[in-house]
Amino acid sequence: MFIIFIFLMLFTTSVYADDVVKVNDTPILTITNIDKLILANDLLDVNVEISRRLKWVIDDKVNNCFSRMYAEWVTSGKLEKLGVTSIPTKRDDLAALIIARPEYKNRIQRDKEMIII
């Protein structure tokens, strides 16, 4: 039994190597061999499932952030008050328009304004 276990570990180790998920070359998540073997217990294609789930998490966060951006700039009438008369219907175009505005501040910039010295 032990020999079979060693064989399986050697075989699966060559199939599954540790993966590191990076953003701007900065490692943010390591998925180890054992993580993938555990996932393989239930998942048909571990790599496809990991990719699908990471994409869902990021897409969901982007959509939630855009919803707040839309509410702040469009629903509230902020763009209209600033004289913008044509609002793009495509999400990326609208986001680019808002981000290009001199009045726009990202989270870090807004937080810096809130610091009381």
- Chain segment 33-89, per-residue pLDDT in tens: 999 999 999 999 999 999 999 999 999 999 999 999 999 999 999 999 999 999 999
Confidence of residue 10 (pLDDT cuts 50, 70, 90): very low
Supply the angle between the helices 33-40 and 2-15 in degrees, to the nearest 10. 110
Q: Are residues 22 and 61 in the same domain?
A: no
- Is the confidence at residue 12, as pLDDT, over 90? no
Q: Are residues 26 and 54 in the same domain?
A: no
Q: Are residues 65 and 17 in the same domain?
A: no
Q: Are residues 52 and 31 in the same domain?
A: no
Nearest one of 18, 110, 21 to 69, comparing CA atoms: 110
DSSP-H helix ranges across 31-106: 33-40, 46-70, 78-81, 91-100
Q: Are residues 107 and 117 in the same domain?
A: yes
Confidence of residue 16 (pLDDT cuts 50, 70, 90): low
Question: Hey, which residues does 29 pair with through a beta bridge?
Answer: 21
Looking at the 3D structure of the chain, how many domains does it have? 2
Give the residue carrying structure tokens 């009381």: 116
Q: Are residues 8 and 53 in the same domain?
A: no
Handedness of CA 17, 21, 27, 33 (dihedral sign): negative
End-to-end CA distance of the chain: 67
Q: Are residues 18 and 61 in the same domain?
A: no
- pTM of this structure: 0.75
Q: Which residues touch 43 (CB under 8 Å, ≥6 apart)?
A: 49
Instruction: List the domain range (segments joined by +) for residue 111.
Output: 44-117
The pLDDT of residue 15 is: 54
**Cα angle for residues 38, 40, 46 (degrees, 5° grid):** 115
Q: Are residues 48 and 78 in the same domain?
A: yes
